[in-house]
Structure formats: C-alpha cells, structure tokens
Chain A
Amino acid sequence: EIQLVESGGGLVQPGRSLKLSCSASGFTFSNYYMAWVRQAPKKGLEWVATISTSGTTTYYPDSVRGRFSISRDNEKSSLYLQMNSLKSEDTATYFCARRVRDSYAHFGYWGQGTLVTVSS
C-alpha cells in the first residue's frame, strides 16, 4: 500500500522558518517526481513545488520561489520542504503528493496533510 505521511507543521511567527517532512512507503520512491500542494483554510488547492527523481531539478510558482526549497533523500524515501521568510498567506495545510504515473504531472497519491499556521 502506498503511504505518504507528512510531519513538521505547527505555529510559526511571520518571517521565521519551518521544515516539513514526508515519509513515503509502498513504492520505489526514487522512481517518481514528488510535489507539495497546499490548501489555505476553506480555499482551493495550490501547487507549491515539484522535484525530479534525482533531486537535481526543481520547480516553484512565483508565490514561493526564493523562499521555499524542496529536497529529497532517496535513501530514506523522504521528501522535504524548507520554508523561509514565512508570511501569513502561507497559512495552509500542506500535502505531500506523488505523480500517478511518471510521465504525467497529475497527483495520484496524497498524504493526510500537515497544518502550518503563520501568526504572531
């Protein structure tokens, strides 16, 4: 069974940093692009970052580029999201997600999410 389990969320002050983790199991982690997707309270879904299988290529939307950094450890089957200079608008549930198939940038598997609250 494919499982994605996020951790690391919590309450953080504006301007501070936080690092999220996602532990994967049930598939060969190193074979798939991975991503983070977030959802602000009572809002829609927003893609946050994607990383290639080797970790050498990353993608971000303008809203987080330069502040967020996605990384992975294939030996540990783990995905990370380093979030710096956090803003109140970064408050959201953050989901770890795996592509449904390697050649499609659609998310076939999701974690349960971890809540990040940015507030003073």
Chain B
Amino acid sequence: DIQMTQSPHSLSASLGETVSIECLASAGISNYLAWYQQKPGKSPQLLIYYANRLQDGVPSRFSGSGSGTQYSLKINNMQPEDEGVYYCQQGYTYPLTFGSGTKLEIK
C-alpha cells in the first residue's frame, strides 16, 4: 500500500499570508494526487486533482504542485474561510489512500 505522509500536522496563519502544506508518498504516484478541504460537520471538498488541476469553482489562490513522491498545496492570501482540515489523497493505485490531515487555523 502507498502511505501518504502530510506535514505539518497543524498550522496557523495570518490573513493575507501564504501557506504551504506538504504530502509525501511512499512510492511514486505519477501526479495522481488530490487535495481536499473539510470544514467541521461538512463533507470534504475537492480543491486540486492530478497534482495541479483546479477543481471547478475553487478560488485561484489555491494551487498544487509536485511530482514523483513529493507534492504540495499552496494557499495564497489566506482568507477566513480557508480554515479547516486539508487532506491529500493518491489515486494512482488501489487501495486509494489519504494523508492524515493538516489543520489550518487563522492566527
């Protein structure tokens, strides 16, 4: 199974700040990497898929990058509504696996 290791576990950021979250796969996943945002009591929402493709309706301040085993999510100009837990997920091979999540809060 491919393990997905996210870092950091949690972070706080000021409004307007740029934030980065990392995801390391235990084997190459050929860009089949997605990022989700989940707010308390809500379903996860897809932000980025195939490493760098922005899901419809997602603000352009979210971007994804990476290749091989290392991927990152960047949030420019942090907004209050960006608070939540962020998960990465590999879609390269079964079993599909998620990272353990990164909790992002406003400082």
**Chain A residues in the interface with B (C-beta under 8 A):** 35, 37, 44-47, 50, 59-62, 95, 100-101, 104-113
Contacts and interface: CB of A to CB of B under 8 A. Distances in A.
Contacts of B21: none
Contacts of A45: 36, 38, 44, 87, 89, 98, 101
Contacts of A106: 32, 34, 46, 49-50, 89, 91
B100 interface: yes
A106 B64 CA distance: 14
Interface string B42-60: 0111100110000100000
Given A100-B55, A111-B43, A61 B95 contact: yes
Contact of B96 (A47, A108, A112): A47
Interface string B11-55: 000000000000000000000101010100001111001100001
The secondary structure that dominates the B interface is loop
Contact of B34 (A46, A107, A111): A107
B46 A107 contact: yes
Given A104-B32, A107-B34, A110-B43, A44 B100 contact: yes
A100 B43 contact: no
A112 B43 contact: yes
Nearest to B46: A108
Given A106-B34, A106-B46, A59 B95 contact: yes
Contact of A107 (B44, B50, B95, B97): B44
A110 B44 contact: yes
A104 B31 CA distance: 10
A107 B32 CA distance: 12
Nearest to B96: A47
Given A50-B94, A50-B96, A104-B49, 14 more contacts: A37-B44, A44-B99, A44-B100, A47-B95, A59-B94, A62-B95, A104-B32, A105-B32, A106-B32, A106-B46, A106-B49, A108-B46, A109-B46, A111-B43
B100 to A, nearest CB: 5
A72 B54 CA distance: 29
8 tightest A-B contacts by CB?
A105-B91, A106-B34, A110-B43, A61-B95, A47-B96, A106-B49, A45-B98, A59-B94
